[in-house]
Structure 1
Amino acid sequence: MASYYKRLKRDLAAAAASGTITPQQADALYENIYAQRLFASFKAAHWISIIAGIFIAGGLSLIIAHNWDKIGAIAKVAVFLAAYAAVAEAAIRWEDKPAVGIPAEVIWFFMPPIGIGLYAQVFQLSGDPVKPFAAWALISLPLAFFTGRRIAAALSMVLLLGVAYFGAFRPNNMFSLVEWRFTSGDFAFPWTHWLAVLLVFCALFWVYFARLKAFAWRDRVAGGTLIWLFIALVSPTFFQLHSPAFILLAAASLTVLWLGISSIGEGPGRLPMLAWFAVVYGMTFFWHYKPSYAPRGEDSPSGVVAALIIFAVAVALTVLRPVKAGGSGKTADWAAKALLLISMVSAFLMFGATEAGAKPIAVIANALIILSGLGLIVSGSMESDEKRINGGVAVIFLIIITRFMDIFGTLMKTGMAFIVSGLVLGALAYFLNKTRKSLIEAANARRQHE
């Protein structure tokens, strides 16, 4: 991301030098775009101020700890509330002075768990391990909306997502979705717990749409939600899946759905593309699949329905919206759509698959990765995009190394075999890097010519 802003500043300076825009306009554009970064207002002095605040708080904590038994319970709580009010007042009063306002706002956000822990310790309370975090999220939620900066909003979203993960997949808490059973062994449906988790996600989306309408955060929120959904499908919840076919279908469909959501606007982000490549790369190892690897148990009917709905939504979003992943032309767009659809549909080959029947999935996955890498290289060359060229070369090189180790790994039993393998891979790396540099130089020359 830092290289993007350096390149932007360089391009704006070049535009100002050519007379397209004035230097003042170039500076104003850069400042306006750079200010949209979440931590753009964080300078070295602000980080030092935060660290100084932590040291002061740590020193006070040590002093209080040495005199803990001498301080009454009411005094302990009262002192904390006074400190909490002082930090909040500082964050509000000096909001226009970042050197004081930013550290105070960050400390303000992290003070509720200290107060909750203090209250529990003073009055000897114990119980649900997730409730303190939920209370922290609830107490800090107004801070996300009523401060001028977006720092508290981003921290609130991370906290809410943590509550959704930590609470839902741990037993014996108010959000738990696992290990709730009747005496007969069937899953009980804790609808109040699902409602609590749903409210957490509603709060998460509310903070995002109200305060953080940024493409980078859209990918993170969508990815965190879809990964949570996949964990819910493979964990002992009401929607648990056991069969490899439905698990693979859900994984592939969720990554394609993530890509589809990310494509709305500027085009797919790096995180969903990496997730899709990771799933397809994992599918290449189905060459070694054996039915004995499959988990035991029957799929939950609700989980099967959920997986099919996710698949249908991912297909619809892929077909109806442009992918914007392989160039700007219609041919490139439909080629990208075809690769995404094949990655999902190939999961149906796992139904009733034997050891030999799973091998076509591996072949298809290898072909998908190679074609995707070539597509990135070609589109990057045509559009003068170095990052896309580098990504395509890296993907192809990864699959070549993996298949090389698959085929010749068992033969490397002597020192000479290792040396020969190293020389072959080194030569391959040399030629691939040479090709990559040639493509980048051609792309740069085309950009300068334009």
Structure 2
Amino acid sequence: MTKDLPELVQAGVITPQTADDIRAYYAAKAVQAPNRLLLVSGILGALLIGLGIILIIAHNWDDLSRSVKTMLVFLPLLISQGLAGYTLFKKRTSSAWRESTATLLFFSVGATMALVSQVYHIPGNLSSFLLTWMLLCLPLVYLLSSSFASLLYLAGITLFALESGFGSYDSNLAYGYWPLLLLLVPYYRQLFLLRPNSNVAVFHHWLLPLSLLLGLTTLLHATQEVLFIAYMSLLGIFSLVGNTGTLKDLPLRSNGYLFLGYLGSAGVLLAFTFKLLWVNVSRFEIVFLAPELIAAILLTGAAVALLLYKWQKRQGLHPMEYVFLFFILFFALAHVSVIAATILTNILVLAIGLYTIRAGARKDSLGLLNLGLLFITALILLRFFDSNLSFVMRGLLFVLVGTGFFFANFFMLKKRNTYEA
């Protein structure tokens, strides 16, 4: 890349300063690749070493005395802590050392807890085990500034939420998910401000909204139907956040907020095109101070505030960013007329599909065009199983949609070829 620089300088094409800048750029780029490879290798190495130690110990476990078992249980933890201490004082600037030692210590803590419980027959359940494990490992995220430990912690508290919400049905314990999540917010904020487009930040952009969606299940109580409002408002927040600021410039595959917000909202709307769901909604009774109702009020308020902020900034709004307002309106309408709520939901889905098709045509985007067509196809497919139409009429509908796919793509490609010519 740099071998032609002297010739370019001699010919007067570039200045010597520019040549030095180019050399520095490629030198820095060459250094980054091995560091990234070393980072991945370190994390994988730590995982393999930990698994290997566990397998070796497990093979001879029954033949060992209790005292020997205890020593072996704490040995990996002590080694991991020693490596973590060495990293803090000697290798703090090395991301490979920080990430690998944090990963090794993270799993060592969990393995030590599980094996001590097995050796001394300490009673407990998976929820309390996960809670203790995550609290013990949270300091690793901040002390070693480890993004991988942060991801593991986020996955762990999500499993804790699901287990305590569905496995043990201990609602009081399940609520512990929310303070556990708040403890990670300072690190995520720092990561978002300093490295918003890095790979570890992208992983957080996916795992955090997924965790929030699953974490809402901890609020299931007496008025479960109201939780649909909370979910739609949360998905609206994801859509608004994912289409604002730094996240807006990320490709869709790296923007978990936008992807989950749009896809989740579409999925809920398509599910509510069925009359049965609105029938269940019309029968529920409001329980004041129920966790679902509080969550729905708070999330809806936050979504409306974000919507107003974006509207005041004169930023463009996609229908999926404010569709939660229509859903709340239909939710209230279902108590008056289930049929009206069902029909309006189907019309809303159709309108969003047509809007997406129009947006794809205006932006000359085959992706958006086909997404809108897929949205309408999904609606027709659901009605295929939910209506009294004859097979001939159903077949004609699919033929019409298929024809629409063909001609829409044909005219879009023809339009492109015309412009290129």
TM-score (norm 2): 0.71
The count of residues paired between Structure 1 and Structure 2 equals 381
Assess, with a 3 A threshold, how the Cα gap between structure 1 residues 441 and 127 changes in structure 2: closer, same or farther.
Answer: farther
Q: Give yes or no for contact 1:128–1:173 (8 Å, CA) kept in 2.
A: no
Output aligned runs, 1:66-81, within 5 Å.
Answer: 66-69=62-65, 72-81=68-77
Q: 1:139 to 1:208 in 2, by over 3 A?
A: same
CA distance in 2, matches of 1:89, 1:394: 54
Give 1:341's match in structure 2, choosing from 300, 303, 325.
Answer: 325
Q: Give the residue type in structure 1 aligned to 2:237.
A: L
Equivalent position SS for 2:173: coil
Where do 1:145-294 residues align within 5 Å?
145-147=142-144, 149-171=146-168, 175-176=172-173, 194=175, 196-212=176-192, 214=196, 216=202, 217-218=204-205, 220-222=207-209, 224-225=211-212, 227-229=214-216, 231-233=217-219, 235-236=220-221, 240-241=222-223, 244=225, 246-265=226-245, 266-267=247-248, 269-286=258-275, 288=276, 291=279, 293=280
Q: Quick one: distance in 2 between partners of 1:270 and 1:290?
A: 26
In the alignment, the residues of structure 2 paired with residue 157 and residue 219 of structure 1 have an alpha-carbon distance, to the nearest angstrom, of 11
Deviations 1:283-315 (A, max 9, x none): 2112x4685x46977432113455344434433
Deviation readout 1:314-333 (Å, 9 max, x if unpaired): 33332332499xxxx87x63
Relative distance call for 1:200 and 1:403 in structure 2 (3 A) is: same
Contact persistence 1:167–1:176 (CA under 8 A): yes
Code of the aligned partner of 1:271: L
1:301: which partner in 2? 288
Residues 47-126 of structure 1: matches in 2 within 5 Å?
49=45, 52-53=48-49, 56-69=52-65, 72-85=68-81, 88=84, 103-126=100-123
Q: Which runs of 5+ in 1 are unaligned?
A: 1-18, 178-193
Q: Please state how far the C-alpha of 1:73 moved relative to its aligned partner.
A: 5.0
**Residue 270 of structure 1, CA deviation:** 0.6
Q: Report if aligned partners of 1:170, 1:176 keep a CA contact under 8 Å in 2.
A: no
In structure 2, how many angstroms separate the alpha carbons of the residues matched to 1:106 and 1:441? Answer: 53
> How many Å separate the matches in 2 of 1:284 and 1:360?
11
CA contact 1:386–1:443 (8 Å) conserved in 2? no
Q: CA deviation at 1:112?
A: 0.9
CA contact (8 A) 1:257 1:314 kept: yes
Would you say the 8 A contact 1:226–1:258 is kept in 2?
Answer: no
In structure 2, the residue matched to 1:374 is: 354
Question: For residues 230-288 of structure 1, what are the alpha-carbon distances to aligned partners after superposition, in whole Å with 9 as ceiling and x for unaligned?
Answer: x344x23xxx315x5x45434433332332333332446111111111111112112x4
User: Could you say what secondary structure the match of 2:387 adopts?
Assistant: helix
Contact 1:389 1:440 in 2 (8 A): no
- The answer to which structure has the higher helix fraction is 2
1:435 aligns with 2:387: no
Which letter does structure 1 place at the counterpart of 2:351? L
The yes-or-no answer on 1:136 pairing with 2:133 is yes
CA contact (8 A) 2:358 2:369 kept: yes
TM-score (norm 1): 0.68
Partners of 2:305 and 2:166 in 1: CA distance: 30
Which residue does the alignment assign to 2:7? none
* Residues in 2 aligned to 1:249 and 1:45: alpha-carbon distance in whole angstroms: 44
Residues 151 and 313 of structure 1, relative CA distance in 2, 3 Å threshold? closer
Cα distance in 1, alignment partners of residues 229 and 404 from structure 2: 37
Q: Cα gap change, 1:66/1:430 in structure 2, threshold over 3 Å: closer, same or farther?
A: farther
| Identical pairs, percent | 16
State the Cα deviation string for residues 215-235 of structure 1 (Å, max 9, x = none): 743464245335533x344x2
1:398-440 Cα deviation digits (max 9, x unpaired):
112222343367x45xxxx7xx966863663354144235436
- Which residue is equivalent to 2:367? 387
The one-letter amino acid paired with 1:301 is F
The amino acid of 2:267's aligned partner reads A
Letter in structure 2 aligned against 1:164: A
